Structure 1
Amino acid sequence: MTTEPRSFARRLRASQTDVENRLWQALRGRKLDGLKFRRQVPLLAYTVDFLCAERRLIIELDGKQHDWHGAYDMERTAEIEAMGFMILRFRNEQLTGDLDPVLQEILQAAHPTK
């Protein structure tokens, strides 16, 4: 991996939003059912918000900027899913109130047979 994607990911981690931080606090350190998540991870030509490599699960948080980049997001999602990953997308607004429904959806995606 070149240093540019890693540098970009490092910058994103250093300047995470309040919403990203809120979800990260719930995921980090295997707090969610022992699942190992990483944040701002370079993957293919992209940087994904949160990745659980073991479950091939990606969580993306969509703020207002995603309203303007719908076609790009669709192309990006298709390319990543073609590599066998599942992507869950949440709007920032979903993480400002009760976090439990979001965490439950993540758990269901990580353990579809539970």
Structure 2
Amino acid sequence: MSSNSHYNKSLRTFAKALRSESTKAEVRLWCEVLSKGKTSYTFLRQRPVENYIADFMCKELKLIIEVDGYSHNLKFAEDEGRDKNLEKLGYTTLRFKDEEVMKDLANVERTIRCWIKDSQV
């Protein structure tokens, strides 16, 4: 594992447990948009990064995608701090609400694809 991926081995077991407890929105985003190179990039699920576990991460793009359920409504400051810490490591975080993924997946996919396209410039 390259050191620049900021992989945290100590969170591996917890990340594996989270993969088996994915939300419906996470499963939908994974199956319909991010799995098997559908974006032409490899995304990993529930990936330990520093002291966090990213819902989805593409090491090549240094992109993290988070799907926020209801509990995140109460964690705005915490999520903002997390995103800033990850940004210092060179990562960009895109956040979507569960509801967006379930009710407007086409727009979520368009947002991700536009970010990927724009990051290639």
- The aligned residue for residue 24 of structure 2 is 18
Q: Which residue type is aligned with residue 92 of structure 2?
A: M
2:52 alignment counterpart: 46
Tell me how many residue pairs correspond in the alignment. Answer: 113
The answer (yes or no) to whether the contact 2:43–2:56 under 8 Å persists in 1 is: yes
**Structure 1 residue ranges without an equivalent (≥5):** none
Could you state the TM-score of these two structures normalised by the residue count of structure 2?
0.87
Q: CA deviation at 1:22?
A: 0.1
**Match runs of 1:63-82 below 5 Å:** 63-82=69-88
- RMSD between superposed Cα atoms in Å: 1.5
Matched, 1:102 2:102: no
How far apart, in 1, do the equivalents of 2:111 and 2:86 lie? 20
Cα shift at 1:2: 6.2
* 2:91 maps to amino acid: F
Deviations 1:47-103 (A, max 9, x none): 000001111111001111011111111111100011111110001110112311111
Matched residues, percent identical? Answer: 36
Corresponding residue of 2:38: 31
* Aligned partner of residue 102 in structure 1, secondary structure: helix
Contact 2:15 2:48 in 1 (8 A): yes
Residue 58 of structure 1: which of 43, 56, 64 is its match? Answer: 64
